[in-house]
Each structure stands twice: as structure tokens, then as C-alpha cells.
Chain A
């Protein structure tokens, strides 16, 4: 069995040796759910395809439904075939991969389940165990405590025991703190991996490379040159059968509190002292702690809630639902680098198109010598970090239109991942699963980061909870409610709806 090669190994060759997962078992709670089928199993299969997993790597699925190992394998076989991204499916590989897939049925509230799991893990005898909580969030606390009560939680001399917790980590600041206390009663912080799959995306990681690997951008990356930043995560689809879950969460909790604030922290954080897990997470946490907390009377000025027409007719949704399917907010960062620069963040469902990007708009040239082609004042430079669907980076600048006279027109300089790197990018879950199994927490969120991001959105949540909105307030296929445009217009800005 290959283990990751330690740096004090005289035979180490980090340029050439792959990180490899040590001998371990992963226990997935909620293995009958969508996340397991669509993301986790395809990612694990792909890691096996790339020979990153040891032959003895074991998966133990759990859900309430009674099922044999073989029935579970067959179910996962169909899921992996269906949801494997950018990668062919190999039946032979599946056969050997599936030999180490097991299933233990049981109710998460029943102590017998954990006794059965213990028996199965003893039987498998893998030194390291990873617990993956892919259940409804309300089960996170009870499951962790039951793992502890069954004696399954503590790392031993033989190996580590870690837990991965999916978002949302709490539904507000208090519940996040309470959940954390329950988790820490069983697992120490260095064994807790709070997953935010946005941080595992190759293009989000590239923000770090772009900012700190190049010398030309960082000097401009501050309030002197940056006018404002827009972060958009738009989906063209609706809740797609997740109405009941979504109704409890909404866009602000589902996207902005976790994913988009983490992206904002990555865009705006200070350079870390080293590319090491704690150094990186310290800087992200510092940035999140610097986000200015809105006063209650600022909330209506700096945030907008929306709901698309038709949401209330979705299955499982309350016909009078006050859930936000669109949320936008203006955040400010109280530090020397960013004071006064607005960070506009928006996310919504049933918008004009599916796109996730970060647009950094620079200040205009101090003196405008030229007018643009259409007679309007020249448009300022814009740097766009595209996260999906076309991963890449674009820089907009002005260029002379060919011909007589000095007419300027904005042009775009594009970097597309595919044109420079033919290699397939690993999915976010491949990256993050590999990281947790090799003990790298760089892309996982720490408790202080979770708390800081809850603090940033708490005034909005509190204010919205006490209001009755005149929903629906936007049509499907548009860019959200008009108030969202008005929020930017008040600062003389405009959403770029590219």
C-alpha cells in the first residue's frame, strides 16, 4: 500500500510522486441521497481511475433503506455511470472498485446502527476512517455524538478518524456555535473538515495563483485602483424538486453565507506568509472578520431579497412562502486595503443564464482623452475571473478602432483553461476528498471562518425575518428584481450582466 511520502523521507520526489491516499475506509451517512450519487461516488471512482486510491480503499454507505451490499453497489454503478463528469466509465475498473463497497442500513437515531458500523469497521480493519455527513443538517449533531458514544470517533495510534461536514454549518450564528460544540465533544478541530465545494473548484484555487503568483496584479489590488467588485452566482434553473429544503434555506443562506463569502475572502485576503493550511485559513478568516457588519437601518439600503414568479407553485413549497430565491448584498471590508470599496454579491435561481464569475472593475483613467466608439465615456478596465461555465480569465481594455480618427472600443483579452492546459480539471469533490484523506485542510473552512461569515449576514437575516415581502418580484429568465439594479445605481454602478 502506498502512503503519502513524508517530506523527511530521503527518497521523496514531490515533483513526480502523486499524493496517495493511505489505507482507509470512508463511511458515508446519507448514502442514498443525491450528493452521494451525483458527486461523492463519481469523485471517488475517478480517484480510483487515476490510481490515487489504494486497492483496499473501502466505502461503507448508510441510509435507512434496507439494502444488500450488492444492491447498493448496483445503485452506485448506475449513478457513477450517469454522473461521471468529463470522463469515460470503465466497467473492469468498476468491478474491482465495487468489491470494496459495503452497505449498513440503519436509522441515524438508533444506537444499533453505530454498533453495526463498528462491527463492519472492525471487520474491514482499515487503520484510518473518514466519516462523511451527507445527511440532513439537523442530524449532524446527533450523528457525531453517536459516533463518539460508540467509541468510533477518536484517532488511535493505528490511524486517524476524521469527519467531513457538508454545508450548511448551522442556520445562524448561534446554531453554528452550538453545532461546533457538539462536534468538538467528539472530534478535535484538526479532525473536522467543513466542506465548501466552491473552494475546491480549480478556478477558485486559481485566484490564489493569479494574485500571488504574478507580480503585476497585486500592486493594483486595493482601494486606490479597484472601484468595486461584483461576485455573481446565477442559475438558470429553479429549485428542481428541492423546494422543501430550499424553502428553509433561501439564496442568502444557501449561497452567500458560505460559498460566495468564501470566494470574496479568497479575492480580497492579504497574502499568506506561506502556502500552508493554517496560513491560508488565517488570512481568509481575517478578511471575513473585517467585513463591516451592517447596522439594522443599513440593511434595506445594502441588500435585496427576491423570489421568482412560480416558486410558490413548486412542489413542497408554501403558497405564501417568504423564501428568497434571489439575494444581493453590498459588503464593505474595514481594512486599509479595501476601505470604501463595495463588494456586490448576488445569487439567484431562474436568472437569465447560468454563470459564476467575479468582476473586478478598476477606476477610470484620471483624465479622459478619448470618447468611446458609441459616444459614451470610455469604459473602465474590467478583470473577470470566470468560474463557470467557461473557466478562465478576461481583461477588458480599450483599443483604437481601425481606420481614420481616434475611436476607442472595449476589447477583451481572454485566457481559457482549455487553450493552455489540455488536462482535465479534477472536480471540486475529487480535490476535496483527496485533501481530507491526505490531511490537507487548506480548502476547508475553519470554525472561526464559519462564525465570521454568519456574523456578516446576521443583520440581513434578522431584518428579513421581520419583514413581509411583496413576492414574487422577478420574472424567470431575468437578472432578478429591479431593486437589485437600484442598489448599485445608488453608488453610480451597474451589474454587468454578461
Chain B
């Protein structure tokens, strides 16, 4: 698609033309179904691999059809926009499904102007989500003009070198009344579910203390969230976060001290071993990718009470 002048009316007209062209050109017998359940605004740094991002959006659309608006942000002041479509044929079906998108290049200094541009481009009456891919959202107020346009903001704390500052920034967003998600929290779902099931089985009863061990020189944002989650769930227990071992930053093991000492360790990336006295069992973790994390977050468009408690 050719770059268009940045006029929202023109972009909307280009989108309409895109659908006319799709309907005309398609060789698919069942025709094309226009799919849209939300607006997904993706703010990404100029350095990001756009091919990879387009592919990722394409995959995400299968489960969360949306009007995607990709903001390529750099230091330069040079607004331009193009429209595109993402089409797929669901397995076993005969009708192609397509979702539409707009790519806008802009400088960070132009985000006020971009917000004005986005207003008519956001699909009316459907949820709108802002996904900030880079670390910039954690420092300063560049994104403030965009926040009132969306219901939910998704950030990724792992993009920031200082995990404590990341948690503070996410808490601040929540304090402002925004629905906020952090992919560093989303990453914990598998591990948290395992802890919950260990508790359910009665293996971890009367827990008095919890020790969380992390590798590397500092805890990750995920480890900080994890510690708070345990503290909120077990207000009587003594919860510590301790450094153990060099290498990459990650949660290495967890020891729940109750009627029985339960130890959860990760022999490898995909496995967790749960030990209680002489009983050992292994569970595999669902592989994590940006796509699976985003898909989980896009499934939750309302309040997330458990994460809210962690941010309190």
C-alpha cells in the first residue's frame, strides 16, 4: 500500500478501498469475512524488527481480530501512514477472515498530534488496547496523550534494566486508575498455577515461610511481582527474595515451609520439579513467547483483581 497523507479521513477511505479490493480480488470461494473485535494500538521503537512485528500481529489476529494501529516511533518528526490487511483461512473453513491495520510513523514529540489522529481511527464502541513494546513508557510521560484513548495498557517490565523502577512505574499507572498489564506478570501464570495446584492438593498446608531464590545480579520484575503475590495470598507467612547463583536473571527455586517442606526447582526451562519429602513430580510449563503472553492479556479486557492486589 502506498504511504498516504496523514489525514484520518484519508486513512479511513483507504481502509474502505482496501476492503473493496479484497472483496473484488479474492479467489476464495467463500469470500472474505471482515473481522474486528477491538482496536489494538502498538507503540514500537523505530529499531524494532517490523517484519517480525507484522508476523506476530498476524498470528495474534487469529484469536483476537482487531484493527491494528502500529505506531513506529522515532526521534524524527515525519508523520506518514499506510494501511494493510492480515488475512487467514481458519483450519477446516472455506471463508477467508481478514483484519485491517494502519501503520503510522511518527516522532515521540508528535504523540499529541498522533493522539488526535488516533481518535477517529479507533473503532467505536469496541475495546481499545495500547501495547507499549519498548522501555520508553517506563520513563517520562511521552505516552500520556494516548492513555485516555484506550481501556487497557500493556507494558513489558523486562525491557527495563531497573526492575524496581519498572514496578514503581506500573503501580503509578494503576494508581491513575488505568487498567494496566505487564507481560512480566503474565509470564508467571504457569508457575502460579502450579503453586495453586500444590496448595490444592494439600501438599503445601500451613505455610509459615516462603523463600524465593533468583539467579543473576538482581531480581527480575517477575520475581518482584511473584514475591508480592505470595505475600498478598499468605499474609501470615514470612516471604523472602534471595539471590542464589550467577547467570541469567530468573526465579531459580521456591521453598514453601509448612507441614512439609515443598521445593520447586527448574531443572530446565520447560520443566518444574516439585519435591515434598521423598515425593517428586515433574510438570512441564507451556512455552512462553510474546505471542502467547499477548494473547493471554488480550483475553482479559476488564479488571484483573489478582494483579491489582499485587500492585496495591
Contact = CB atoms under 8 A, between A and B. Distances in A.
Interface of A: 1-6, 9-13, 15-18, 20, 51, 85-88, 416, 418-424
Q: Counting chain B CB atoms within 10 Å of each CB, which of A5, A6, A88 scores highest?
A: A5
B193 interface: yes
Given A2-B197, A88-B91, A13 B35 contact: no
Contacts of B305: 15
Contact of B63 (A5, A18, A87, A423): A423
B200 A419 contact: no
Contacts of B12: none
Contacts of B219: none
B286 A419 contact: no
B260 interface: no
Contacts of A424: 90-91
B233 interface: yes
B306 A15 contact: yes
A1 B196 CA distance: 12
B164 interface: no
Contact of A10 (B35, B91, B194, B234): B234
A423 B36 CA distance: 12
Nearest to B195: A11
A86 B193 contact: no
Interface string B64-101: 11000000000000000000000000111101010000
Contacts of B97: 418-419, 422
B36 A420 contact: yes
Given A419-B97, A420-B37, A422-B63, A13 B306 contact: yes
Contact of A419 (B34, B196, B283): B34
B266 interface: no
A2 B194 contact: yes
B235 to A, nearest CB: 9
Nearest to B201: A3
A482 B229 CA distance: 67
A71 B196 CA distance: 39
Nearest to B62: A422
Contacts of B201: 1, 3
Contact of A5 (B95, B193, B300): B193
7 contacts: A1-B197, A5-B200, A10-B234, A86-B92, A418-B33, A418-B97, A422-B63
A449 B36 CA distance: 39
Contacts of A418: 33, 35, 90, 93, 95, 97
A2 B64 contact: no
Nearest to A20: B197
B281 interface: yes
A86 B233 contact: no
Interface in B91-147: 91-93, 95, 97
B194 to A, nearest CB: 7
Interface string B198-212: 011100000000000
Contacts of A6: 200
A9 B199 contact: yes
Interface in B26-45: 33-37
Contacts of A423: 62-63
Contacts of A87: 91-92
Given A419-B97, A424-B91, A17 B193 contact: yes
Nearest to B306: A13
A3 B200 contact: yes
Given A1-B281, A15-B300, A419 B193 contact: no
B189 A16 contact: yes
Nearest to B232: A10
B259 interface: no
Contact of A11 (B93, B199, B281, B300): B199
B242 interface: no
Contacts of A4: 200
B304 interface: yes
What's the dominant secondary structure at chain A's contact region? Answer: loop
Contacts of B193: 2, 5, 13, 16-18
B92 to A, nearest CB: 4
B221 interface: no
A85 B92 CA distance: 7
B64 A17 contact: no
Interface string B216-239: 000000000000010001100000
A17 B33 contact: no
Given A86-B90, A86-B92, A5 B62 contact: no
Given A2-B283, A418-B35, A12 B196 contact: yes
A5 B233 CA distance: 14
Nearest to A5: B196
B61 interface: yes
B196 A13 contact: yes
B192 interface: yes
Q: Counting chain B CB atoms within 10 Å of each CB, which of A2, A6, A15, A16 scores highest?
A: A16
A10 B33 contact: no
B306 A5 contact: no
Contacts of B192: 11, 13, 16-17
Given A2-B197, A87-B91, 17 more contacts: A1-B201, A1-B283, A11-B195, A11-B196, A12-B196, A13-B306, A16-B296, A17-B192, A17-B196, A18-B193, A20-B197, A85-B92, A86-B92, A87-B92, A420-B35, A420-B37, A424-B90
Nearest to A416: B33
A418 B189 CA distance: 28
Nearest to A54: B283
Interface in B295-312: 296, 300, 304-306
B93 A86 contact: yes
B233 A11 contact: yes
A493 to B, nearest CB: 33
Given A15-B300, A418-B95, A5 B197 contact: yes
B233 A422 contact: no
Nearest to B95: A418
A4 B201 CA distance: 10
A11 B237 CA distance: 13
B204 to A, nearest CB: 9
B224 to A, nearest CB: 17
Contacts of B195: 11
Contacts of A5: 193, 196-197, 200
Contact of A9 (B189, B200, B283): B200
Contact of B91 (A9, A86, A420, A421): A86
A419 B126 CA distance: 13
Nearest to B196: A11
A113 to B, nearest CB: 33
